[in-house]
Structure 1
Amino acid sequence: MKSLQLISSLLLAVAAWSCGSQANDTTQAKTDDATRTDDAVIAVKLTPVRTVERSEPVVASGLVSSSEEARLSFKVGGIINQMLVEEGQSVRKGQLLATLDLTEINAQVSQAQLASEKADRDLNRVRSLYADTAATLEQLQNATTGQHVARQNLTIAQFNRSFAQIRSSVDGTVTRKVTNAGEYVAAGASVYLISGNRPGNWVVRVGVSDKDWARLRLGNRATVTLDAYPDQRFNGTVTELAQAADPTSKLYEVEVRISPASGVKLAPGLFGKVTLVPAQSRSYVVVPVEAIVEGNGKDGFVYTLASASPANRASKVRKVPVQIGYLDGANVLLTHGLSATSQVVTAGSAFLTEESSVVVR
């Protein structure tokens, strides 16, 4: 009898434990389902979209140089006699910089002088003969022409001798000395490179694409930053636009004249970054940087709400392709993609997919 009572008690205990375990499993399953539901809804923040009128800047880099640059050479070839200045030396306009050995050139002037004197004598003799009817008119005309030719040859020889020296054409600095005394130099070959150093003549020449070149105009404003003066920004103006692309780089050269602050020392070869501001403006849609997802060059995506929902209720999102114009600090200026959208998802956008449910916080 006692055995039967013990067995009954054990069966009741097992049944009670089984019921309790099933209840606990049911409660845990409900809790897991609720947790999964909460995890599927992502909290996001919306930011209003605004529109601005802006001129997209053109950014390029180049080297500082002077607008007054001279490549000086001799008019005639010959042996260099003297090189009177060195690289880095300042020179004045009209200063003598180099001379040729004049031995050969003086001989050419002497030859031309003697030929001119002979032509004068020949003409006088023919005139006398013509007066005595011993010479024809044609002989007189030929002698006259010969005299004119001899005098012109003398002028050429004297002119070449006067340019058998190099004088500076600008006030500036010798940036390069190509040859040395005693070397033979051909006519027109560069001997000195001079860069003018007058205030207001400093420029930066940069290359831009055809698309950017078409947007620029003479007189457009620019901002220049130099590695030599990283904490300063210089104002600039577009003064020249190339009318043909460089055959090597396929870029169009743009010259920007710098307006340096007083006391700032500039020199040829300084590296500068130029931000050009075209006069033409266009409309852009502005969104925060964090709204852009899956950016690739000029292409990207943003998330917007697919439809409005009551407060604190889950909503669906829509992935919208956009085209990026350029970055402006913490914002991105878009050229296409959000014309009919008033808000975009910012906080939480990195965790979204097109199947995500969101709640606006």
Structure 2
Amino acid sequence: MLTSFKNSLILGLIITTVFACGKKKTDKKTIADNETVAVKLVDVSNANSTEPIKASGLISSLHEARLSFKTGGIIEKIFVKEGQNIVKGQLLATLNLTEINAQVQQSQENVSKIERDLKRINALYRDSVATLEQVQNLTTALSVAKQGLQIAQYNQGYSKIYAPTNGVVVKRMMNEGELASSGSPVFFVNAAGANDWVVKVGITDKDWTRLKLGDKAEISLDAFPDMKFLANVTTLSQGADQASGLYQAELKISTQGKKMATGLFAKALIYPSIKYQYASVPVDAIIEGNGDQAFVYVIENGKAKRVSLSIAYVNGQQAFIREGLSGINQVVTDGSAYLVEGTKVKVVQ
């Protein structure tokens, strides 16, 4: 019996709700057909404007490098630590040179031997004992041996890592005693100059087409929440990143004397110099917005007409319209919430 009572109560609530909804629709229809709603109009503005591009990225040095050994070998000594300041030309690390020194010595001995052989063959050739071909072969062998010595000496020189510029050691990837492969990064360093910092951000292809080198930007850093830093677009990539599909832009930041570090998170607001002409209306005139789609009401023959819009962007209290207001000079602001299609309206000042 209790179950029957509950079912009856639920059914009653449903009927009441349907009736109420039906009555509300009837009232709205009555307003649209029989009453006049007072409204205010506002002019549609047309001006050159552009939507700022919002992006985020990380602070990095304009001059950064991953330093490695030219040849592989055991790391003999590392002279710097992470976070340490370095100067150009400073020795940072060296390999155990036992093997590479032996290769240089071997190449030197080989050159000396061939030089002696060539000297002896030249003497025999003058006495018509050796042939011209023997002289030529030894001459070629000496040239090859000297080139081999140059290679060994070159590798010997690049078995040490020197600082390419003044800066700081951001990260040390390897330690003493480890086997370093040729080209494997041992240090990540960057320049420490005040004008060497950039923000690297990813932007869509649509935004990429709107930017030019030199466009201005405003940077916000979590590390300095109360400051805004000025920046300029200095680099625009000519190809999209395969992983993200975004194009990279570099924004050179004016640090205003603040200490910067690689990896600081930054938010950028970029102002493209390429401008578009948009119609704009107050945000109060927009109704039923969903994403970039919305509606406004206009007056046609003394009645409200609902017009669909595509919104480009909103800036403060103004909505900039991509399409939908062609040929329309005024839209309804005050009173739009009480309108439906076909409502009779009275324009008041």
1:70 paired to 2:57: no
Matches within 5 A, 1:77-226: 77-226=72-221
Distance in structure 1 (CA, Å) of the matches to 2:115 and 2:33:
115
Indicate conservation of the 8 Å contact 2:33/2:343, yes or no: no
Q: Does 1:281 align with 2:279?
A: no
2:289 is matched with which residue: 295, 302, 317?
295
Q: Which residue of 1 aligns with 2:233?
A: 238
Tell me what 1:26 maps to: none
CA contact (8 A) 2:33 2:342 kept: no
Report matched runs for 1:259-338 at 5 Å.
Answer: 259-261=254-256, 263-307=257-301, 315-338=302-325
Q: Which residue of 2 aligns with 1:54?
A: 49
C-alpha separation in 2, matches of 1:102 and 1:216? 51
How big is the shift at 1:135? 0.5
Q: In structure 2, list runs of 5 or more residues that go unmatched.
A: 1-26
Name the structure 2 match of 1:347.
334
Matched, 1:228 2:223: yes
Name the amino acid aligned to 1:223: E
Corresponding position of 1:45: 40
Shift of residue 41, structure 1, vs aligned partner: 4.1
Partner of 1:23: none
Aligned to 1:11: none
Quote the residue 2:23 is aligned against. none
Sort the Cα spacing of 1:299 and 1:38 in 2 relative to 1 into closer, same or farther, 3 A: closer
Deviation of the 1:50 alpha carbon? 1.2
How far off is 1:42 after superposition?
Answer: 3.7
Asked if structure 1 preserves the Cα contact closer than 8 Å seen for 2:167 and 2:189, the reply is yes
Q: Secondary structure at the match of 1:215?
A: coil
* One-letter amino acid of the counterpart of residue 129, structure 2: A
Distance in 1 between residues matched to 2:139 and 2:32, nearest whole Å: 114
Deviations 1:24-53 (A, max 9, x none): xxxxxxxx9xx9799954443322221111
Q: Is the 8 A contact 2:32 2:340 kept in 1?
A: no
TM-aligned CA deviation for residue 341 of structure 1: 2.0
State the TM-score, normalizing by the size of structure 2. Answer: 0.87
CA distance in 1, matches of 2:32, 2:101: 104
Aligned residues: 320
User: What secondary structure sits across from 2:140 in the alignment?
Assistant: helix
C-alpha deviation, 1:138, in angstroms: 0.6
Structure 1: gaps spanning 5 or more residues: 1-31, 308-314
Task: Select between 224-233 and 245-254 the one with higher mean Cα deviation.
Answer: 224-233
Contact 2:78 2:176 in 1 (8 A): yes
Give the letter aligned to residue 125 of structure 2. Answer: Y
Counterpart contact for 2:219–2:231, Cα < 8 Å: yes
What is the aligned-residue RMSD (CA, Å)?
2.0
Question: For 1:320-351, what per-residue CA distance to the aligned partner results, in whole angstroms no more than 9, with x for missing partners?
Answer: 11111111111111121113222222233234
Name the CA distance, whole Å, in 2 between partners of 1:215 and 1:189.
39
Q: In the aligned structure 1, how far is the partner of 2:187 from the partner of 2:286?
A: 55
> Does the 8 Å contact 2:77/2:176 carry over to 1?
yes
How far apart in 1 are the matches of 2:166 and 2:299?
67
Q: Secondary structure at the match of 1:56?
A: coil
Among 340, 344, 347, the residue aligned to 1:357: 344
Residues 229-266 of structure 1 deviation map (CA, whole Å, 9 limit, x = unaligned)? 222222211111111110011111111111222x2111
SS at match of 1:290: helix
CA deviation profile, 1:280-339 (whole Å, cap 9, x unmatched): 2121111111211122222211111123xxxxxxx4211111111111111111121113
Tell me, in whole angstroms, the C-alpha distance in 2 between the residues paired with 1:257 and 1:321.
41
Change (3 A) 1:37 1:349: closer
3-state SS of paired residue (1:133): coil
Q: Do 2:46 and 2:280's aligned partners in 1 also have CA atoms closer than 8 Å?
A: yes
Partner secondary structure for residue 116 of structure 1: helix
